[in-house]
């Protein structure tokens, strides 16, 4: 197994004595050889199985030659858009071009095309017509069915149909990509590996069998939002590796088939993946431009587990990583921490120990490990299931062990902490130790909103849990004599959130003396339940209608209310309060959000919808008449 970077050039191939690669891997991100970057993980996994892998990162898609740089692959071309959906990477919630791309050298923008998976797959097909094309990664995974695309505001085909690839590997992919590679090495065609879990494929023959379910077709979900909701519900409920069925969606005269998800990795398998010989840095080719910004967040962090049973409806992690926690052993994490202390640039600080959610270290309950997650109920969210095992003893023991590694000065917890799950345990000991050893002055948490029907639609805990956690956090810091603060994250314009709900959030921020520096406007990303709500105007799981703030002005007002104290937001906040009928919050009183201003009668009336009183000039009679 190579102790170097993966092959990126012909010179690298010659150095290893290779005349042909087994796989050419097209990557929408810059190449960072770190387990936090998907292309590096899949490349290393294949390499560990004896396959020759070469990486072409961010090729110029307007020319064909860059896609031929490493020659024709013996087995297949692999395609990923990168660690983020390429549209989300490029554009904001307001559909404006972002001014920085953290996954590109020097943060430069414009290094990958829109809908990168489709573009790259078509280019590789053009370069080598008879070479199988396998797509994967977060973009392919979350767009595997017909889906609503926010940036074009329409329902699109499955990305497998648009890309014309042979196979789509969804989810984290290590297990399925090895099975695909082994099948190709045995001389099998893509059509002979349709039994592999964790893949999607397209066939012209209608699938038959007992363990499959049909959802409404592409044509139906494009035409009828009710059928879109029905399709989403079917897809959403069949994503468990233990009981999930094969899901079929027709499109014209073809059928998209999603096989059941890959089975969860064992602890030994996950340990082996994260202990592959990653260089834990960007490729030296990027040194001249200052490297790749995204590495800074994860370079000295430890991934302790995968999966999330957190139930956040605006998040697609459950659709990609699954709801069942897969954790690494203490021994593996300690070995990685020890290795980290020898790396250039390490100053004794481990920035994070966690995963999608920091304190989910084991399955939510014993049933999940053998039977899967419950189909019709969630582990946490509006309430914590009574069957949830909320013990934090293992995570606490792990943090203690890591902070005693020689060369480690401090171990921080920065990934999301689910305080509702923590409160279901006996939280005092954990919070005291968290505050004493693992907080760097501020701890980020994500209540997201404070109005119950909004947090219910988000799949988040209610505000009372946040207030209880804050009380315990503040008390723990008083006891140990530290001044440390919670930094709460809130979201505007989530489906279900009205202007009045946004005002209620602003009042909460006022009462708590909080002034968020950063606010997040809801972005309808492919694959999430919240996106389905946004598009259809209903909750697909219940069929109940959901209010959606669609207009730019409505979204801007909701966002501005979260930062009502900013002078730049005064006009929007004034307009929002008038429109919501809350002029009582304008003035000099202690409960007011903003001060008054003098406006022409016409402008003031327009702001709150009152009829404009028109002044009629009366001509005076001339004295000469």
Host H or E run for residue 336: helix 330-340
Where would I find the beta strands (DSSP E) of 21-132?
23-27, 32-33, 53-57, 76-80
Instruction: Give the torsion sign (CA, 203, 204, 208, 214).
Output: positive
Q: Are 512 and 568 in contact (CB under 8 A)?
A: no
pLDDT, residue 623, reads 46
Calculate Rg over the CA atoms of the chain: 27
Per-block average pLDDT, block size 10, for the chain (625 residues)? 86 97 99 97 98 98 98 98 97 94 97 98 97 98 98 98 98 96 97 97 94 97 98 96 97 96 97 97 97 95 95 90 95 98 96 94 92 90 91 96 97 91 94 95 94 97 96 97 94 98 98 88 96 98 97 96 96 97 95 83 53 50 46
Domains of the chain listed by start with CATH number = 10-258 (3.40.50.2300)
3-state DSSP: the chain helix, strand, coil percent, rounded to 5?
35, 15, 50
Q: Are 106 and 64 in contact (CB under 8 A)?
A: no
pLDDT, residue 613, reads 52
pLDDT, residue 338, reads 97
Interval 152-198: pLDDT, tens: 999 999 999 999 999 999 999 999 999 999 999 999 999 999 999 99
Closest CA to 250 of 224, 219, 223, 226: 219
Binding residues for [4Fe-4S] cluster are 308, 312, 315
DSSP letters, 58-87, are S--TT-SGGGGTT---SSEEEEE--SS-HH
pLDDT, residue 334, reads 98
| 3-class DSSP assignment, residue 585 | helix
- Torsion angles phi and psi, residue 469, rounded to 5: -65, -40
CA angle 326, 190, 58 (to 5 degrees): 70
pTM of the model: 0.92
pLDDT, residue 519, reads 85
- Torsion angles phi and psi, residue 602, rounded to 5: -65, -45
Where would I find the beta strands (DSSP E) of 364-484?
410-411, 442-448
pLDDT, residue 416, reads 82
Cα separation values, 275 from 52, 215, 220, 349, 398, Å: 19, 40, 46, 20, 18
What is the token pair recorded at 267?
A: 């602890």
pLDDT, residue 157, reads 98
User: What is the distance between the alpha carbons of residues 157 and 160, in angstroms, rounded to a whole number?
Assistant: 8
Instruction: Name 521's bridge partners.
Output: 492
Cβ density class 353-380: b for 16+ within 10 Å, e for less: bbbbbbbbbbbbbeebeeebbbeeebbb
Interval 374-390: pLDDT, tens: 988 899 988 899 999 99
Question: What single-letter DSSP state applies at residue 107?
Answer: G
Binding residues are 308, 312, 315
If you count DSSP H runs as helices and E runs as strands, how many of each does the chain have, helices first?
A: 24, 22
């Amino acid at each position: 197994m190579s102790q170097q970077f993966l092959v990126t050039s012909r010179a690298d191939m010659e150095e290893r004595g290779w005349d042909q690669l087994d796989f050419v891997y097209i990557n929408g991100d810059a190449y960072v050889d770190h387990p936090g970057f998907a292309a590096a993980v899949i490349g290393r996994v294949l390499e560990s199985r004896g396959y020759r892998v070469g990486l072409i990162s961010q090729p110029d898609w307007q020319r064909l030659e860059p896609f031929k740089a490493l020659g024709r692959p013996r087995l297949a071309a692999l395609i990923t858009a990168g660690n983020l959906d390429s549209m989300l990477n490029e554009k904001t919630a307001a559909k404006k071009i972002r001014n920085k791309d953290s996954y590109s050298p020097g943060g430069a923008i414009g290094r990958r095309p829109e809908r990168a998976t489709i573009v790259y797959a078509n280019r590789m097909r053009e370069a080598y017509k008879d070479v199988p094309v396998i797509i994967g990664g977060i973009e392919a995974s979350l767009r595997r069915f017909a889906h609503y695309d926010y940036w074009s505001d329409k329902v699109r085909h499955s990305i497998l149909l648009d890309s014309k690839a042979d196979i789509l590997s969804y989810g984290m992919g290590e297990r399925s990509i090895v099975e695909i590679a082994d099948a190709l090495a045995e001389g099998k065609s893509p059509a002979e590996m349709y039994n592999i879990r964790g893949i999607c494929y397209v066939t012209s023959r209608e699938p038959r069998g007992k363990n499959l379910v049909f959802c409404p077709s592409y044509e139906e979900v494009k035409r009828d939002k009710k059928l879109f909701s029905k399709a989403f519900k079917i897809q959403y409920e069949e994503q468990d590796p233990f009981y999930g069925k094969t899901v079929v969606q027709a499109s014209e005269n073809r059928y998209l088939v999603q096989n059941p998800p890959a089975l969860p990795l064992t602890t030994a398998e996950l340990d082996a993946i994260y202990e592959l010989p990653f260089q834990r840095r960007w490729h030296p080719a990027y040194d001249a431009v200052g490297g790749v910004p995204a590495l800074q967040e994860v370079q000295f962090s430890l991934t302790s587990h995968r999966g999330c049973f957190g139930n956040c409806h605006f998040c697609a992690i459950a659709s990609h990583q699954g709801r069942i926690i897969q954790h690494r052993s203490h021994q593996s994490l300690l070995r990685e921490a020890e290795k980290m202390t020898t790396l250039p640039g390490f100053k004794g600080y481990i920035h994070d120990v966690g995963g999608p959610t920091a304190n989910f270290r084991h399955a939510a309950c014993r049933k999940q490990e053998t039977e899967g997650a419950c189909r019709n109920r969630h582990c946490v969210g509006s309430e914590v299931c009574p069957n949830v095992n909320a013990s934090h003893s293992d995570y606490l023991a792990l943090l203690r062990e890591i902070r005693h590694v020689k060369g480690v000065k401090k171990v921080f917890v920065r990934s999301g902490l689910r305080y509702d799950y923590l409160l279901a345990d006996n939280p005092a000991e954990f919070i005291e130790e968290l505050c004493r050893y693992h907080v760097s002055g501020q701890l980020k948490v994500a209540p997201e909103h404070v109005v119950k029907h909004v947090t219910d639609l988000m799949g988040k805990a209610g505000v009372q849990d946040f207030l209880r956690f804050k009380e315990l956090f503040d008390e723990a810091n008083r006891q140990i004599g530290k001044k440390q603060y919670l930094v709460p994250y809130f979201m505007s314009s989530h489906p279900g959130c009205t202007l009045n709900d946004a005002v209620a959030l602003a009042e909460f921020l006022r009462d708590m003396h909080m002034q968020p520096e950063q606010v997040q406007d809801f972005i309808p990303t492919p694959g999430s339940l919240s996106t389905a709500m946004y598009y259809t105007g209903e909750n697909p799981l219940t069929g109940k209608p959901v209010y959606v703030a669609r207009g730019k002005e409505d979204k801007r007002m909701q966002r501005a209310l979260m930062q009502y104290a900013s002078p730049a937001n005064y006009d929007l906040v004034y307009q929002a309060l008038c429109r919501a009928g809350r002029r009582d919050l304008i003035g000099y009183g202690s409960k007011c959000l903003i001060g008054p201003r003098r406006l022409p009668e016409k402008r003031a009336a327009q702001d709150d919808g009152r009829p404009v009183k028109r002044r009629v000039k009366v001509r005076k009679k001339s004295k000469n008449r």
